[in-house]
Structure 1
Amino acid sequence: MVDSAANPTAVQPYYANHAELLGRRYESVTFERIHGGVLDLLPPAPAKAADIGSGTGRDAAALALRGYQVVAVEPVRELRELARRLHPDERITWLADALPELDRLPEDFDLILLSAVWMHLPPAQRGHAMTRLATLLAPGGLLVLSLRRGAPPTDRLMYDIPAGEVLRDAERAGLHQARLLEEHTDGLGRTDVWWQTLALRKEPA
């Protein structure tokens, strides 16, 4: 699950070259396992959802099954093609786009999901990216970010970004914390990785 306009030569080729392997890994963990702590916050269906850095499409497919119209945004062609094969669903629109600009994405989403994406953004791009995400949300909309914590790997560009830093950028963009969760068990069994989930709400109109 990746989205990075920061340094494509450092990030996207890794995911392109390992798409099939990563697909098996990502699809082995369910949407409910990853996002179970915020499911009660999700807007009722039908609603418009965007899955940013959608990877193999696991989360986009789960949202579609819940009755959402989903735009799945993934800049890596190999992952998009794999996702289409794994999750053919007319309720999902597959889109090539990337943070921080997301200039091909329409606005007024009731839900935006970023699962293991924010870790690829360098510091200089994070504030702008958060402002763009806030613009894409409809009034009262929900933004959910799962944040990978722990030492970054050495084979691709990645940062260890705490939820507190993300929340500061969010508040400057007009978003407010709805929930913060700590998960110290990695879904893929890694002992050196843990997760924070941050749910952010845009004020109603």
Structure 2
Amino acid sequence: MSRSDFFAIRPTSTAAKCSSWNCRTYQTLEGREPIMASKNHLSLPKRGCKFRGMNGRAEFDGDDKKSAADYGISGFMLTRDETNEFFGRDVYARLFDTKKRPPEPAMPEVPTYHITHKFRDSSVSLFFDGESEAVKLACNLAKIEITPQTGGMCELKVQLQSHPSRQEVGILYDNLGRDISASIRFGKLVEKIEAQPELPMDAGESGGARDGNEVPGPLDDEQLGMH
């Protein structure tokens, strides 16, 4: 297995221009697996976020075709303790300059980290319009992004790869692009993400599956109001 197979995190930009301290920090983070790989499943309690990006696609098991849909969550903020639990105890101090008040991202030249692993057998509960009952999706969690924010919290973005019922599809469609609340339970870590037909997490907030694996072209971030 190549060294890259062990990477859990990759930045959106190169670390070549980092200061020497930040380069060492980047290299440490680059090779670190999420702490959930060896401990109990992490559960993040209910909080506000944005519900976005519906991608319709098809999955095949031999000749059997099964409809699937991907949805996105953004703006799900992680506390210091949750960030440390996800990555490891010492990571928060590397992501933030805690000497500043409020804390600032320690590496603005590497603004976002992408988790290259997938978490199977996960679940997400989605609460709409302040309702106490949620739509609970059994799903895989993929395309995870962590972005340190001024103030000391990290924004979590994640794609929910699911097989919602027809009734759930209607409810989810009606709430695309809205501010909601959600709770997240991470399942089993998958070290290597299998190749499968899926669209980017930034795909449009409306659209349905065609006969094949594609959906109508995605909206850009400006259209989605995500810029």
Query: Which TM bucket (shorter chain)?
Result: under 0.3
Larger C-alpha radius of gyration, 1 or 2?
2
Q: Give the structure-1-normalised TM-score.
A: 0.26
Larger relative contact order, structure 1 or 2 (CA cutoff 8 Å, min sep 6): 2
Bigger share in helix: 1
Bigger share in strand: 2
Q: Give the structure-2-normalised TM-score.
A: 0.24
